């Protein structure tokens, strides 16, 4: 089994710079974890709040390494047939109809029942051939001729039984299709598993993976992310926007705004041609950041204090610049 290599990235800093070319701005800790996972050939378990860039990291890696991204979205009730492969039953039924219509022609020359059965069995094998196989994400990942990035998204939403099955597959990077035999990976895929903490993952999974936790970014890093992804936004406004978001994260909210919401809000300000972050604008667009009505109410009640903290943070940043 071959291994997918990245010869141009000989240290974590190189890989971090490479991610930046894909507009993925990350901390050195993230770059180091991804670099080690790639070269140690171990799956990377990426945890953290929703919206901080876990899925985007897999997309950026696939783009950087110029390999396909194969994504498997996990959910409760996910089983092997939906993750590995299934048979195209509609096509098999059509083939059955064709076979029945041609049965008389097939039986010509069969003098005995044994001979007739031999002819039928020869066509029966076609039911479970490649023509009728529908690959699902895990099988597609094993079959990628140049390797791929396999993203197992939100593994915490899958049942523990599926988690155990996944570990068995990832240990050997091969599966057995009873009708076709064993399918082994031509090139070992790079595996990222993400978790939002919906349930506790098993120790067995954690032992087999390198661990990376992506928290909400510090203000300086988040400003860089905003300026990279939404370059139309004025730098001074990006500073105030990020300071305001950090003020919201200090509140007792049901769901704190993540980086994805910060970027949505930045695009909203550009769309509205905003040149200042005033209270009226904040009130009108707050639902871009907050997804629960009780959180909106909490933020509006604390709005004067958050706005003052935003102004203070902006002044400190301007003094340091």
Does the 2-77+137-213 domain belong in CATH 3.40.50.1100? Answer: no
Element (H, E) at 149: strand 149-153
For residue 186, give both structure tokens: 């031509």
Domain boundaries, the chain: 2-77+137-213, 85-132, 219-314
Tell whether the model's pLDDT for residue 21 goes beyond 80. yes
Q: Band of the pLDDT at 56, cuts 50, 70, 90?
A: very high
CB atoms inside a 10 Å sphere around CB 55: 20
CB burial of residue 97 (10 Å; 0-12, 13-18, 19+): exposed
Predicted TM-score of the model (pTM): 0.82
Quick check: 25 and 52 in contact, CB under 8 A? no
What's the rounded Cα separation, in Å, for the pair 165 and 260? 32
Q: Which of 220, 228, 212 is nearest to 35 (CA)?
A: 212
Collapsing DSSP states into helix, strand and coil, what is residue 215? coil
The Cβ of residue 78 has, within 10 Å, a number of other Cβ atoms equal to: 20
Strand partners, 175: 183
Sign (positive/negative) of CA torsion 113, 123, 141, 6?
A: positive
The 10s digit of each residue's pLDDT in 185-244 is 888 899 999 999 888 999 999 999 999 999 999 999 999 999 999 999 999 999 999 999
Residue ranges in the chain assigned as alpha helix (H): 12-21, 28-40, 54-65, 80-83, 89-101, 103-107, 113-124, 137-143, 160-172, 203-208, 219-229, 235-249, 259-271, 279-285, 293-301, 303-320
Segment among 48-57, 63-72, 78-87 with least mean pLDDT? 78-87
pLDDT at 62: 95
User: Can you tell me the distance from the alpha carbon of 266 to that of 289, in angstroms, rounded to the nearest whole number?
Assistant: 10
Nearest CA among 18, 26, 55 for reference residue 229? 26
Residue 176 C-beta-side C-alpha neighbours within 13 Å? 3
Give the number of residues written for the chain. 321
**Stretch 148-163: mean pLDDT:** 93
In the predicted structure, residue 45 carries a pLDDT above the cut 80: yes
pLDDT digits (tens, 9 = 90+) for 87-106: 655 555 555 665 565 555 55
Alpha carbon 287 to chain centroid distance? Answer: 25
Quick one: pLDDT at residue 243? 95
The mean per-residue pLDDT over the stretch 244-272 comes to 96
Residue 186: closest CA among 214, 242, 223, 146: 146
């Amino acid at each position: 089994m071959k291994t997918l290599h990245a010869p141009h990235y000989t240290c974590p800093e190189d890989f971090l710079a490479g991610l930046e070319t894909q507009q993925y701005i990350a901390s050195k800790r993230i770059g180091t974890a991804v670099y080690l996972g790639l070269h140690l050939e171990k799956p990377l378990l990426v945890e953290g709040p929703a919206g901080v860039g876990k899925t985007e990291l897999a997309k950026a890696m696939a783009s950087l390494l110029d390999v396909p991204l194969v994504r498997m979205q996990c959910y409760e009730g996910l089983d092997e047939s939906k993750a590995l492969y299934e048979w195209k039953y509609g096509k098999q039924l059509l083939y059955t109809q064709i076979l029945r219509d041609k049965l008389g022609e097939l039986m010509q020359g069969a003098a005995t029942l044994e001979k007739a059965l031999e002819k039928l069995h020869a066509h029966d094998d076609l039911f479970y051939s490649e023509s009728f196989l529908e690959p699902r994400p895990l099988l597609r990942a094993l079959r990628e001729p140049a390797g791929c990035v396999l993203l197992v998204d939100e593994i915490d939403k899958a049942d523990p039984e599926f988690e155990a099955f996944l570990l068995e597959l990832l240990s050997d990077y091969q599966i057995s299709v009873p009708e076709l035999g064993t399918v082994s990976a031509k090139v070992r895929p790079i595996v990222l598993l993400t978790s939002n903490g919906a349930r506790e993952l098993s120790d067995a999974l954690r032992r087999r993976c390198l661990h990376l936790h992506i928290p909400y970014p510090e203000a300086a890093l988040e400003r860089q992310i905003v300026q990279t992804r939404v370059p139309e936004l004025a730098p001074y406004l990006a500073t105030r926007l990020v300071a305001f978001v950090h003020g919201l994260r200090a509140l007792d909210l049901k769901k704190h705004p993540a980086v994805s919401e910060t970027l949505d809000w930045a695009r909203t300000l550009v769309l509205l041609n905003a040149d200042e972050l005033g209270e009226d604008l904040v009130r009108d667009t707050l639902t871009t950041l907050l997804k629960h009505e009780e959180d909106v109410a909490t933020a509006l009640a604390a709005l004067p204090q958050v706005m003052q903290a935003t102004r203070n943070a902006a002044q400190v940043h301007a003094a340091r610049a």
